[in-house]
Structure 1
Amino acid sequence: MTMPRRITRCLIVCTLSLALASPVSGQPQWNNRPLDFSVRDSAGHDIGAEDSSGPALPSLTSSVGQAASNEEVQLGRAWLRQFRAHAPLWDDPVTQDYLESLIARLLPHSGLGNAKILVTLVESPTLNAFAVPGGVVGVNAGLFAFAEGEAALASVLAHELGHLSQRHYARGVARAEQTQIPAMAAMLAGMLIAAGGGGDAGIGVAMGSQAALLQDQLAYSRRFEQEADRIGLQAMTEAGFDPMAMVEMFRAMQRMASLQGGNPPEFLLSHPVTESRLSDTLDRARRLSVEASPRDALAYHLIRARALLAIHDRDPGQAATRLTEDGAPQASQRYLAALIDADAGKADSALRELDALAREHPDLAMLPVSAAYLAFDAGRIDEAIERSRRQLRFMPGYVPATRLLGEALLQRDPDEAWRVLDELANRRPEDPQVFTLLAEAAGRSGREALGHLARAEQLQLTGHIDAAIRQLGVAKRVAEREGNTRATTRIAQRREAFLGYREALERF
Structure 2
Amino acid sequence: MMQRSPSFPRRAVRLSRRWLTNAALAVTLGTGVPTAGAQSTYQLPDLGSTSASVTTGDEYRLGRAWLRQFRAQTDQWQDPIAETYVRSMLARLQPYSGANERLVVTLVESRLLNAFAVPGGVVGVNAGLFASAPQEGEFASVLAHELGHLAQRHYARRMERVEQTQLPTMAAMLAGMVIAAGGGGSAGIAAMMGSQAAFVQDQLAYSRRFEQEADRVGLEAMAKAGYDPQAMPEMFRSLQKLAALQGGNPPEFLLTHPVTESRISDTQARANQLPSPAGVIDPTYAMIRARALLMLNQDTPAQAMTVLTQEDPPAAAVRYLQALTDAEKTRYDTALSTLDALAQDYPDLSLIPTTAAEIAYAANRREVALERARRVLRLSPNYYPAQWVQAEALLQMAPERAFGVLRDMSESYPEDPNVFGLLAEAAGRSGRDAWGQLARAEQLQLEGSIDTAIRQLDSAGDAAKRDGDYAMAGRIERRRQDFLGYRETMRNF
Contact kept, 8 Å, 1:128 with 1:143, in 2: the verdict is yes
Superposed, 1:333-348 pairs within 5 Å as: 333-348=318-333
Residue 383 of structure 1: aligned partner: 368
The answer as to 2:132 corresponding to 1:146 is yes
Equivalent of residue 221 in structure 1, options 207, 213, 223? 207
Deviations 1:13-61 (A, max 9, x none): 2357xxxxxxxxxxxxxxx9444249xxxxxxxxxxxxxxx999xxxxx
Residue 98 of structure 2: aligned partner: 111
Q: Give identity over the alignment, percent.
A: 56
What is the CA-CA distance between 1:190 and the residue it aligns to?
2.7
Superposed, 1:379-458 pairs within 5 Å as: 379-458=364-443
What is the CA-CA distance between 1:73 and the residue it aligns to?
1.1
Contact kept, 8 Å, 2:103 with 2:122, in 1: the verdict is yes
What is the CA-CA distance between 1:94 and the residue it aligns to?
0.4
Superposed, 1:15-414 pairs within 5 Å as: 15=18, 33-37=37-41, 68-113=55-100, 115-192=101-178, 217-292=203-278, 297-414=282-399
TM-score w.r.t. the length of structure 1 is 0.85
More deviation in 493-502 or 356-365? 493-502
Residue 9 of structure 1: aligned partner: 11
What is the CA-CA distance between 1:485 and the residue it aligns to?
1.6
Q: Structure 2 vs 1, CA of residues 141 and 201 (structure 1 numbering), >3 Å: closer, same or farther? A: farther
Q: 2:83 corresponds to which letter in structure 1? A: Q
Separation (CA, whole Å) in 2 of partners of 1:493 and 1:290? 54
Q: 1:237 corresponds to which letter in structure 2? A: A
Q: Structure 2 vs 1, CA of residues 326 and 290 (structure 1 numbering), >3 Å: closer, same or farther? A: closer
Q: 1:470 corresponds to which letter in structure 2? A: R
Q: Structure 2 vs 1, CA of residues 418 and 203 (structure 1 numbering), >3 Å: closer, same or farther? A: farther
Separation (CA, whole Å) in 2 of partners of 1:163 and 1:214? 19
Separation (CA, whole Å) in 1 of partners of 2:294 and 2:477? 45
What is the CA-CA distance between 1:341 and the residue it aligns to?
0.8
Separation (CA, whole Å) in 1 of partners of 2:349 and 2:161? 47
Q: Structure 2 vs 1, CA of residues 398 and 297 (structure 1 numbering), >3 Å: closer, same or farther? A: same
Identify unmatched segments of 5+ residues in structure 1. Answer: 17-31, 39-53, 57-65
Separation (CA, whole Å) in 1 of partners of 2:232 and 2:54? 26
Residue 460 of structure 2: aligned partner: 475
Contact kept, 8 Å, 1:122 with 1:138, in 2: the verdict is yes
SS of residue in 2 equivalent to 1:138: strand
Residue 49 of structure 1: aligned partner: none
Q: 1:262 corresponds to which letter in structure 2? A: G
Separation (CA, whole Å) in 2 of partners of 1:190 and 1:378? 42
What is the CA-CA distance between 1:217 and the residue it aligns to?
3.0
Q: 2:401 corresponds to which letter in structure 1? A: E
Residue 450 of structure 2: aligned partner: 465
Separation (CA, whole Å) in 2 of partners of 1:258 and 1:309? 26
Identify unmatched segments of 5+ residues in structure 2. Answer: 20-35, 46-52, 194-198
Separation (CA, whole Å) in 2 of partners of 1:227 and 1:171? 13
SS of residue in 2 equivalent to 1:130: strand
Q: 2:445 corresponds to which letter in structure 1? A: Q
Contact kept, 8 Å, 2:215 with 2:267, in 1: the verdict is yes
